[in-house]
Structure 1
Amino acid sequence: MRAKGILPTFHECPYCHGKKIGRIRRGLYKCYQCRKEWSRRRGSKLEKYRVTLQKVLLAVKLFELETSVRKASHQLGLAYNTTYTLYDLIRKTILHLTTNNNRFSGEIEVDESYFGGRRKGKRGRGAPNKIPVFGILERGGKVRVEVVDDVKGDTLLNLSLKKVKRGSLVYTDKFRSYDGLVSYGFKHERIDHGLKFANGKVYINGIEGFWSFAKDRLMKYHGVDPEKFPLYLKELEFRYNYRNSDLFDVVMRQLKM
């Protein structure tokens, strides 16, 4: 069964550390020294959930397939809120894979984009009611994205310092917030969208491809609570970085941790 390993194996009592333990009924253990009982889910990420392992497995599969919560709740035979909570658990579980502190190096593409509902009026930089997101892509590697308060030079340059090694070659557009990259110790090449889209290696097609990838998928949600948006954004970062992997297996490995 693929769920094997999600739940811990008990060799002693978690309360008194006694060795005289046994299963008294399905899913429940007992210590014959201190007389305490506990669930086999104790200490696992599923400890607080009263959903069968089979349904957890199916929920992970439906999440991998980008099935909506409403459709998944029907297929699982669970209430909408229960299914939503399971999806939320999965998103928080894979968040661990997006918090790597290793800094990117080599050839890097940097850009910022804006997320939010479709509204009339100004779009792009400075548009009201939009959430600014900063993105960094390591060519031949992964992407990292983060919600930011603003796209001022200090904000973007400080994030670049945290996530990219000095000496790396950074490609950006001509936005003035990137003016200080060289003084921060980076090599810097700019692309001018008004003149040409790509000039040899001077392009940011990779990070712009991620923006399209992310926005296409967010459209399916028909709106995301702004408070939850950072979690959904990290899910999209995860899906993009592991798009050539078996997402089911990746999520299952994280649930076992």
Structure 2
Amino acid sequence: MYNKYIKHAKISEGKFRELIKYFSLDLDGLQIAELSGLNRNTVGRYLNLLRQRIAAHCEGELPPRKNIDTLNDDENLIEFDDHFVANEGIIFGLFRGNSKIHTEMVDESYSLKFRDIVRGKTPWEAMDYSINYWYEFDGLVELGKNKYFRLNQTKKGVNGYTTHINSIKSFWSFAQMRLLKFRGVAKHTFYLHLKECEFRFNNRSENLYGKIMDLVKREPL
């Protein structure tokens, strides 16, 4: 079946646009299947492809990484695999750049150090570690823990867990409600949901349906 939005399509363009409409309203796969009349597995497959496209778009908006000697991209980048694992202990960083909120999974070799800091077990100043990472994070979050850990970049220290009103905090409040539903999922699935939160937040004033359609028009699924 020809469909300019999907390679090797099994559904019509009209049904795909309907799926995008419901997805842009943040309905889940079961709701979309019921409303569209599409098979639930078919909906799940296309939602996964959509999230991959959205994640790639968000990655393309990331500022350039810093060149540092302490990390080797090939050896230390976190690997997202298909093993079913609990999300306990997964750390991701938040920062603002180019007027957008960005998220980045913390490299595994650093996440062990960050974890004790986020949990309040180790004071930041006691770490034999300086803020020397690909990005200068404004905050850290451990999935499964209801805490946002704010970093004070000026003093390279901690500003505690106090509530503060800024775009980073607003994003975390927005993302928290969505991410807490996805405990115990494959790492690569969590990453896609995190990037979907980033995309939705950064485009919350935009027409999401039109934005998503533009993405798949430029590069079909």
Give TM-score, length-normalised by structure 2: 0.64
Q: Does 1:132 align with 2:77?
A: no
Paired-residue identity, %: 24
Deviation, 1:227, is: 3.2
Alignment of 1:238-253 (within 5 A): 238-253=199-214
Quick one: distance in 2 between partners of 1:172 and 1:78?
Answer: 40
Deviation, 1:209, is: 2.0
Unaligned runs of 5+ in 1: 1-26, 28-39, 105-127, 162-169, 182-186, 198-202
Higher-RCO chain (CA-CA 8 Å, sequence separation at least 6): 2
Q: Does 1:95 align with 2:70?
A: no
**Secondary structure at the residue paired with 1:227?**
helix
Matching residue within 21, 29, 36 for 1:76: 36
Equivalent pair of 1:172/1:204 in contact (CA under 8 Å): no
Quick one: distance in 1 between partners of 2:214 and 2:172?
Answer: 27
**Secondary structure at the residue paired with 2:54?**
helix
Equivalent pair of 2:54/2:199 in contact (CA under 8 Å): yes
Alignment of 1:147-186 (within 5 A): 147-148=105-106, 149=108, 150=111, 151-152=113-114, 157-160=132-135
2:102 aligned partner, one-letter code: R
Count of aligned pairs between the two proteins: 172
Q: Which residue of 2 aligns with 1:46?
A: 6
Name the one with the larger strand percent: 1
Q: Over residues 130-178 of structure 1, what are the superposed CA-to-partner deviations in whole Å (9 max), with x where a residue is unaligned? A: 311111124x8111101222054769631226xxxxxxxx8669xxxx6
Equivalent pair of 2:93/2:139 in contact (CA under 8 Å): no
Q: Which residue of 2 aligns with 1:193?
A: 160
1:158 aligned partner, one-letter code: Y
Q: Which residue of 2 aligns with 1:145?
A: 103
Quick one: distance in 2 between partners of 1:242 and 1:91?
Answer: 15
Q: Over residues 94-123 of structure 1, what are the superposed CA-to-partner deviations in whole Å (9 max), with x where a residue is unaligned? A: 22320124359xxxxxxxxxxxxxxxxxxx
Distance change in 2, residues 1:237/1:206 (3 Å): same
Quick one: distance in 2 between partners of 1:53 and 1:77?
Answer: 14
CA radius of gyration, larger in: 1
**Secondary structure at the residue paired with 2:53?**
helix
Q: Which residue of 1 aligns with 2:144?
A: none
**Secondary structure at the residue paired with 1:78?**
coil
Deviation, 1:45, is: 5.0
Quick one: distance in 2 between partners of 1:142 and 1:208?
Answer: 13
Equivalent pair of 1:142/1:241 in contact (CA under 8 Å): yes
